[in-house]
Chains A and B, each alone.
Chain A
Amino acid sequence: MSRLTIAIPSKGRLKEQTEDWLVSLGHPLRQIGGERGYTAEIEGLDAEVRLLSAREIAQGLIEGSLHFGVTGEDLLNDLAPDGADDFRVVKRLGFGGADVVVAVPQAWFDVDSMADLEAAGAAFRKAHGRRLRVATKYLRLTRRFFAQKSVGEYRLVESAGATEAAPSTGTADVIVDITTTGATLKANGLKVLRDGVILESEAAFTQSARAEFGPVAKAAADALVGAFARSDHNF
């Protein structure tokens, strides 16, 4: 990894918005092997560019197999074993925004806060002989947040997709998921707890705390940082 290695989301809105942002920096992205290729070049920059899923990018930054990458703060914070020490957000990009929230059934009139959830969880365990189930993709983030809020009466259920449907299908009672407008939660009969916003996430240009920067990579990184300085983007 002597060259600078940068990862960009490989598909969807996140990819388009990242491309627009690179154009605004004066360093447009050129995909190698057409639309379906998984490598690319950033014009005017000596760097290896990989197109990966947002989750792979977060993982690569944390492990140190990537120098820089664009990915969601939700994934970075969830996948990092030591939390925010494992990566450095260089710039929040103002797109890809979503909140990671704790949501419970709207019908739970007695549960508005995390403290209420803990009380309901304790009563539930007494009545059912098992813990309330919380479905989520964000296992670490959930565990840290619940501990911080002194909520311990729950069990995590790893969710592979459609987390918001878990309470209605009976696989869980509570969810931790991302939401932008809250419409999906509402449509599934769920509400966000008043102190249940875990993270206000957006896409972030992020530097790995673990990757080694050799002289070649360092020079390219400096050029990139120079581009930031010349652009209107403050960081």
Chain B
Amino acid sequence: MNHDALVAVARAVFEAAGGSPIDPDYVLPADIPLELSGEAVRARLCVFTDNRGAEMAMRPDLTLPVAQREAARLEGGALPKTYTYAARAFRLPAAADDPFEFTQVGLERFGYGADPGADAELFALVHRAVEACGVQPKAIVTGDLAIFPAFIDALCLPVVTTDLLKRAFRQEGGVRAVLDEAARPLDADVLKALDAAEPEAALGDILAARDMPLVGARSLAEIVEGLRARRAAIEAGGLPDGARAALLALRDVDCPLTQAPETLNALAKARGLTGADAALDAFAARVGKIMALVPGARRTAEFRAGFGRRFTYYDGFVFEVLAEGLSPSQPVAAGGRYDGLISGLSSGRVAATGIGGVVRPDRMIRVRRAGA
């Protein structure tokens, strides 16, 4: 089978699951991926400047423009739908043998349900599309971006620490940088200003006395808020050793997917983190359903607690399918849940659950050639 034949085969698998064909805009304002995901995505984004100087980007995947169109449709009062596509996407190559543009064949489901069954169903569908293209998965890496936040919440830390840890988990540096940053003391007179009748005015006085201008877009009120949050963290005494140990242990979980529920439960139990039970129950239910639908995953699927944390808009189940002959950074298929994406794209005006997956025929061609 050549590239186009693989596209047709994969497309037929996704279309059999229902959904409307879609080929949305190729060009997006660069603000959409950059404000949504931050500067980290810029490294792979094909960006150019239009004649008015505005930064535009070629679509880096189909999920983003499909979700953007869906958000606009929902704002008009329509009901969420399922879409299928076989369409071009554009990324700056990460490896020498990566192309600039490639076809993704996939499916995006909005408002479909956010339960373990929906996750497993999508996983099985993508798995079937890969097999239909004549490629046997060598390994399937999975993660769950809801587990780490659930553990952090269960630790009952001050809000400022909780927020910082959750965000740090999604960054390249990970939580280590935050964990290593102890609660550092604040200037005595700045602390005193916080207790003044009008803290903003008191802070303004300190600025005037020290001859410091207030530059930038943050207001005195925002600085006061930031100081209050830091004081709360200092009073809480930084990150307790037990919490630190729990998060570092979670970070290092890397095991076959079949063993992951037991491993995570044991970890939570050992640390007394009953608050994570709901997330762990959902996780265990998903693993059970995946194994029932795709028995082969018993052998190939693994779980890594830190996996997918850099996939910016995903917020639940995530997975990548690897095949013989390609590097771990070149999956032949991938997918995941992004329940917050529609809300993020519409500035909270509408919301809908979302889950999607894609296969890469261009990479599967390489796997098939290498195997032949």
Residues of A within 8 A of B (CB): 104-116, 118-120, 122-124, 127-133, 143, 146-156, 167-168, 170, 172-174, 188-190
Complex-state Cα separation, A172 to B218, whole angstroms:
11
- The residue in chain A whose Cβ has the minimal distance to the Cβ of B190 is A109
Known contacts A150-B175, A150-B178: does B186 contact A109 (CB below 8 Å)?
A: yes
Contacts of A123 in B (CB 8 A): 222, 225-226, 229
Q: Given A110-B227, A149-B177, list of 18 further CB < 8 A pairs? A: A107-B207, A109-B223, A109-B227, A113-B181, A123-B225, A123-B226, A124-B222, A129-B347, A132-B217, A133-B217, A143-B43, A148-B173, A148-B177, A150-B172, A151-B171, A167-B215, A189-B214, A190-B215
Indicate whether B213 reaches chain A with its CB closer than 8 angstroms.
Answer: yes
Indicate whether B34 reaches chain A with its CB closer than 8 angstroms.
Answer: yes
B154 to chain A, nearest CB (A): 21
Complex-state Cα separation, A118 to B229, whole angstroms:
13
The 8 closest A-B pairs by CB, nearest first: A110-B226, A150-B173, A150-B171, A173-B216, A147-B172, A167-B215, A189-B213, A152-B38
B residues 150-173 near A (Cβ < 8 Å) are 160, 163-164, 167-168, 170-173
Known contacts A105-B216, A109-B186, A109-B187: does B39 contact A155 (CB below 8 Å)?
A: yes
A125 to chain B, nearest CB (A): 8
Indicate whether B52 reaches chain A with its CB closer than 8 angstroms.
Answer: no
Complex-state Cα separation, A147 to B174, whole angstroms:
9
A96 to chain B, nearest CB (A): 28
Known contacts A152-B39, A156-B39: does B164 contact A168 (CB below 8 Å)?
A: no
Complex-state Cα separation, A131 to B174, whole angstroms:
20
B163 to chain A, nearest CB (A): 6
Can you name 20 A-B pairs with beta carbons within 8 Å? A104-B216, A105-B214, A106-B212, A109-B187, A109-B190, A110-B186, A110-B229, A112-B184, A120-B218, A128-B217, A132-B218, A147-B173, A148-B177, A150-B167, A150-B177, A155-B34, A167-B216, A170-B217, A189-B213, A189-B215
Known contacts A110-B229, A123-B226, A150-B172: does B38 contact A131 (CB below 8 Å)?
A: yes
Known contacts A105-B216, A114-B177: does B226 contact A153 (CB below 8 Å)?
A: no
Residues of B within 8 A of A (CB): 34-35, 38-40, 42-43, 160, 163-164, 167-168, 170-175, 177-178, 181, 184, 186-187, 190, 203, 206-207, 210, 212-218, 220, 222-223, 225-227, 229-230, 347
B71 to chain A, nearest CB (A): 16
A191 to chain B, nearest CB (A): 9
Residue among A109, A147, A189 having the largest count of chain B Cβ atoms under 10 Å: A109
B42 to chain A, nearest CB (A): 7
A9 to chain B, nearest CB (A): 29
Complex-state Cα separation, A112 to B167, whole angstroms:
18
Known contacts A115-B177, A149-B173: does B43 contact A110 (CB below 8 Å)?
A: no
Complex-state Cα separation, A150 to B131, whole angstroms:
38
In the complex, the answer to whether A105 meets B218 with C-beta atoms within 8 Å is yes
In the complex, the answer to whether A143 meets B39 with C-beta atoms within 8 Å is yes
In the complex, the answer to whether A115 meets B164 with C-beta atoms within 8 Å is yes
Complex-state Cα separation, A33 to B39, whole angstroms:
46
A140 to chain B, nearest CB (A): 8
